[in-house]
Amino acid sequence: DAEITQSPRHKITETGRQVTLACHQTWNHNNMFWYRQDLGHGLRLIHYSYGVQDTNKGEVSDGYSVSRSNTEDLPLTLESAASSQTSVYFCASSESTSPNTGELFFGEGSRLTVL
């Protein structure tokens, strides 16, 4: 079955370290998204991509970067982790045919703790 997988599921790191969260989907979806989920906030968009070589900033992109070298993967990199980036991160993907009705599929999440 097609799916979207994230790794690692849990990670503890130290302030200042570089961290990369992986996201891999097998649906061949063009659109991929990274969100973070924190208590008291709805999911907030970090970065998104509409296809290979396309990346765009979301509402909370500072301190994060992404790259899209193929359709299946959108890794999220924290260049220098900060305690404020402790969160649960979700990757999602959708088809490109219609934003009005296109289903949005989420991964299981990656819980990141920055000490």
> Under rule CB under 8 A, which residues in 10-69 are in contact with other proteins?
31, 33, 35, 40-45, 48, 50
Residue 29 C-beta: closest distance to other proteins, Å: 11
Distance CA 47, CA 59 (A): 8
* Using rule CB under 8 A, residue 85 touches other proteins: no
* Using rule CB under 8 A, residue 97 touches other proteins: no
**Is there a contact between 109 and 20 (Cβ–Cβ < 8 Å)?**
no
Distance CA 18, CA 81 (A): 6
Distance CA 33, CA 25 (A): 11
Residues that bind other proteins (CB under 8 A): 31, 33, 35, 40-45, 48, 50, 90, 92, 94, 99-109
